[in-house]
Amino acid sequence: MTDSFNRNEKVIVALDVDTKEKALSLAQELAGSGCWLKVGLELYALSGLSLIEEFKKLGFQIFLDLKLHDIPTTVEKTMRVLTASGVDMINVHCGGGYEMMARSSEVCHRAGKKLIGVTVLTSMGGQELPAIGVNDSTDEQVVRLAKLAQKAALDGVVSSAREAKILRQECGPEFLLITPGIRPEWSGKNDQVRVLTPEKALEAGSSYLVVGRPVTLAENPREALEKLWD
């Protein structure tokens, strides 16, 4: 196994594209590199679980980023359907509460899948937390929800790389930290504001780096993936 394959195993490429054909073509170009693929709401709405099976045939591990948030029974039953597919990692909003998370993680673990929590969306800036009744700082709320997720046996959380350090301290070395907002020096920021390079994000304690446009919009996505570490 090459070094580059091992490093790519920490990269989750976000397939934020608007057609099934574009998604498949990107997957074919990235096949064999070692990276994961992330399927979000848009692509899932377009193509459902069938596309996931195609990605599995190409050898990928898949993070299904649907951020489920509903009553415990509904989420648990949905998890049973999703975990019967080829996905490897799924997520729920921690704000759905302990019981919803605990029942979901039981289903996921029985099926050998990982379950990740979403704490505070990084789009929630300024006055948005107080507006929904949260008067603590973002960091306090992120740590509170991450600890609740850990108590409910989730495998980790999605967080900005900025929060990775404190989460690593508070939740220990085994807890998975999945961090978007990753930009190598050579790449534009797009609409991301607080970004870290892949190397700095790993130093801060990230377990997996979610990278979208620097790879998916590149003329040669495979080359861009390899250049993440330059």
Given the residues 20, 22, 56, 67, the one annotated as active site: 67
**Count of other CB atoms within 10 angstroms of residue 229:** 15
> Which residues in 69-106 are b (16+ Cβ under 10 Å) and which e?
beebeebbebbeebbebbbbbbbbbbbbeeebbbbbbe
Least Å distance, CB 180 to ligand C5P, is 3
Indicate which single residue of 40, 96, 156, 198 sits in contact with ligand C5P (rule: CB under 6 A): 40
33 CB-side CA count, 13 A: 24
Nearer to ligand C5P, 152 or 215 (CB): 215
Q: Which helix (H) or strand (E) holds 12?
A: strand 11-14
Specify the residue, 201 or 210, whose C-beta has the smaller distance to ligand C5P: 210
To the query of whether residue 189 is one of the catalytic residues in this protein, the response is no
Per the DSSP assignment, residues forming a β-bridge with 163 are none
The contact pattern for ligand C5P, residues 175-204, with x = CB under 6 A and - = no contact, is -----xx--------x-x------------
E strand residue ranges, 58-167: 62-68, 89-93, 114-118, 156-158
Of 17-25, 134-142, 205-213, 222-230, the window that binds ligand C5P (rule: CB under 6 A) is: 205-213
Instruction: List residues near ligand C5P by CB under 6 A.
Output: 14, 16, 40, 121-122, 158, 160, 180-181, 190, 192, 210-213
Active site residues: 67
